[in-house]
Amino acid sequence: MNVQSDTPRFGVNYVPRQGWFYSWLEPDWDEVRRDLEAIASLGLDHVRVFPFWPVLQPNRTLIRPRAVADVRRVVQIAGEAGLDASVDVIQGHMSSYDFVPAWLTSWHATNMFTDPGALAAQAGLARSLHDALADLPNYLGLTLGNEVNQFSGDPHPTPMRATPAEAEHWVRTLLDAVPADGDRLRLHAEYDAVWYLDDHPFLPTHAARLGDVTAIHSWIFNGTAQRYGGTSTESLRHGEYLVELSRAFATDPARPVWLQEIGAPLNCLDEADVPAFCEQAVRHAADSPALWGVTWWCSHDVHRSLADFPDLEYSLGLFDADGNVKPIGRAFAAVAADLRERATVPAARTDAVVVEVDADDVPLRRADLAPGGAVFTAWMDLARDGRRPTVVTSRTAASPTDLAARGVTTSHQPAASGASAYSAVSDAEALAVGGAP
């Protein structure tokens, strides 16, 4: 299959309605089929699938054939419903819970990013899962995991710390385990500490240069909504901003960017505002020539019978916990259909805010990129004035040739602004249960 497209892709992160992701322990194929057919009925074209790491690889040298076969079956059922499927492999972290195999914790505690045996085991799992899926026509490719960078440092309560060089080695090792055939996507995905948190070991250059596409996760509970309001310009355009910010660090101006997670959290929004937030946020993000697609978080609400999730997790679905389409589901389906039908390539962005970087393209101060920071503020001010800004590094800004390659005619040096409002946890409740976004 050809994973490239002339128009953006629109899909959803698949959260099983029956039993949440615990359903990987004993899949009910009728339930899976019902969920995926419901998703397809909205006119969406793909799902992102999350098999749990301890289920797949409970021992460092044991990859369970039955568990791998279950992943394959989910992808097959998605194809029967008319959906392509992307699969996360090192899974990892989900909705404030960690799912890490026992061979990495407590009496066997080691570091998933730096221990050679652990690294080899993860590469083997990535290779095995890809090999089991590669012949399926609707298989889009592998993501290394869901926001696995949250394990690498603060604010995780028991981090497996890594240096930037070790983080890069981890990404490259796992990507290299999967064939680069140009037909399936190989990518990794970090939560927004990679862009916003100083001293975080995963760097913007890792996100924007390793793998086949850049994945971004846009959540306004990171300080954006708390500072500016849930329906503010800053919140509605946060996903768009991350698309353009990520492009600053790509060596290829045409590198695709996948808005792999974006949602409408009710700890930041009134329920009545959610459909409009969805529609406007998606339209803004689609106004970038680099956008590969948008994958909404998520398909189904977590059922209230499951305990101890941060409260917002029970309300993020396009469908409720009984399988009924919610207003946000209809809103996302409508905006996806409209943007597909229009099928126009957005014009180049000629205004660019400059990020000061060092000789290795590492931002001098990542807090400047975060909500409330100088770069964030300058970009949003230009957007509010209708200027359609992008972002470039200071090294790019110093080269007329590089600016021309990106279509940039005017560079804007940001003025100093107030302190960053960024938070690496979704809210106080999530922090209390030890979660990261």
Confidence (pLDDT) at 345: 84
Confidence (pLDDT) at 426: 62
Residue 326 DSSP code: P
For residue range 137-190, what is the model confidence (pLDDT) as tens digits?
Answer: 999 999 999 999 999 999 999 999 999 999 999 999 999 999 988 889 999 999
Question: What secondary structure does DSSP assign to 208-248, as a single string?
Answer: HHSSSSEEEEE-GGGTHHHHH-TTSHHHHTHHHHHHHHHHH
> Is the preceding peptide bond at 155 cis, omega within 30 degrees of 0?
yes
pTM, two decimal places? 0.95
Residue 294 DSSP code: E
Using a 10 angstrom Cβ sphere, with 0-12 exposed, 13-18 middle and 19 or more buried, the burial of residue 272 is exposed
Q: Which residues of the chain have pLDDT under 50?
A: 428-437
- Which of 288, 254, 204, 208 shows the shortest CA–CA distance to 405? 254
Q: 192: helix, coil or strand?
A: coil
For residues 261 and 12, what is the distance between their CA atoms, to the nearest angstrom? 8
What is the average pLDDT score of the chain? 94
- Which of 371, 351, 37, 396 shows the shortest CA–CA distance to 196? 371
Q: Is the dihedral of CA 377, 379, 382, 384 positive or negative?
A: negative
Confidence (pLDDT) at 6: 72
Using a 10 angstrom Cβ sphere, with 0-12 exposed, 13-18 middle and 19 or more buried, the burial of residue 401 is exposed
Q: What percent of the chain has pLDDT over 70?
A: 96
Confidence (pLDDT) at 435: 32
For residues 320 and 329, what is the distance between their CA atoms, to the nearest angstrom? 10
- For the chain, the domains span 9-345
Confidence (pLDDT) at 4: 60
For residue range 403-419, what is the model confidence (pLDDT) as tens digits?
Answer: 999 999 999 999 987 78
Confidence (pLDDT) at 437: 35
In degrees to the nearest 10, what's the CA dihedral of 93, 98, 99, 105? 130
Confidence (pLDDT) at 7: 86
CATH class, range 9-345: alpha beta
